[in-house]
Amino acid sequence: MKSSTKCSMLTAAVICALANFSVVAPAQDKETVVKNREALMKGQGKDLGSVKAYIDGKGDQAQAEAGAVSLTQSTRKIPDAFPPGSGGPNSDGKFAAKPVIWSDWNKFLEIQKNAVSKADVLLAAVKSGNKTTIETAFGDLGKNGCGACHETFREKLQD
């Protein structure tokens, strides 16, 4: 084999590898991305739970505040948890991230930013200790933050 052919093959291989790397995350990475994303969402569920426990008089304010602080952080991490190419079923196959997340990324970001500001409102409410305000903020974040995103961008695959 001539050295120029070798060279061009090598170049092509490098280009392919680079292209492959930049366009589609390798399989192993995607799995990790999905797992981390699930952990993020499950963590949010847990944080919401500690706020709800305080609303219901079953938990204390400090824990609720910790949960709310965590929510203000985790809602900000959502865009990074959805890199392009990471769509499809989650690890138990019950839900899927829909392609429309990336085809309508701006709308996705709009809802995410909404969720961030609602989480900020919830944190302020938890600090105030006023349960009526907390309950309103809690419902707003859940329904119009989490729920609004799931309505458009998440698909139920299996019961």
Partner 1 sequence: MPRDFPREVTRLTAALAATVLAVGGLAARAADTALAARGAYLAAAAGCADCHTDRPHGGRLYAGGRALTTPFGTFYAPNITPDLETGIGQWSDAQFLNALREGVRPDGSNYFPVFPYPSFTKITDDDARAIKAYLFTQPAVKQSNRAHDVAFPFSWRFLQNGWKLLFFSPGPFRPAPERGEAYNRGAYLVTALAHCSECHTPRNWFGATQPSRFLAGTAHGPDGKAVPNITPDSETGIGKWSDDDIVTLLKDGQTPDFDFVGGAMAEVVKNTAQLTNADRHAIAVFLQSVPAVRSPR
Which residue, 2 or 156, has its beta carbon nearer to partner 1?
Answer: 156
Exposure string of 3-20, with b = 16+ CB inside 10 Å and e = fewer, is: eeeeeeeeeeeeeeeeee
Please report whether residue 158 would count as binding partner 1 according to CB under 8 A.
Answer: yes
Kindly state the smallest distance separating residue 20's Cβ from partner 1, in Å: 32
Q: Which of 33, 34, 48, 111 binds partner 1 (CB under 8 A)?
A: 48
- Restricting to residues 124-153, name those near partner 1 by CB under 8 A: 138-139, 142-143, 146-153
CB within 8 A of 54, min separation 6: which ones?
A: 60, 61, 63, 64, 126, 131, 134
| Segments of 2-106 assigned E as strands | 88-89, 95-97
- Which amino acid makes up residue 123? L
58 binds partner 1 (CB under 8 A): no
| Selected range binding partner 1 among 2-10, 46-54, 73-81, 123-131, rule: CB under 8 A | 46-54
Residue 144 tokens, joined: 């119009």
Residue 76 structure tokens:
């900000």
Q: Which residue in the set 25, 29, 38, 52 belongs to the binding site for partner 1 (CB under 8 A)?
A: 52
Size of the site for partner 1 (CB under 8 A): 24
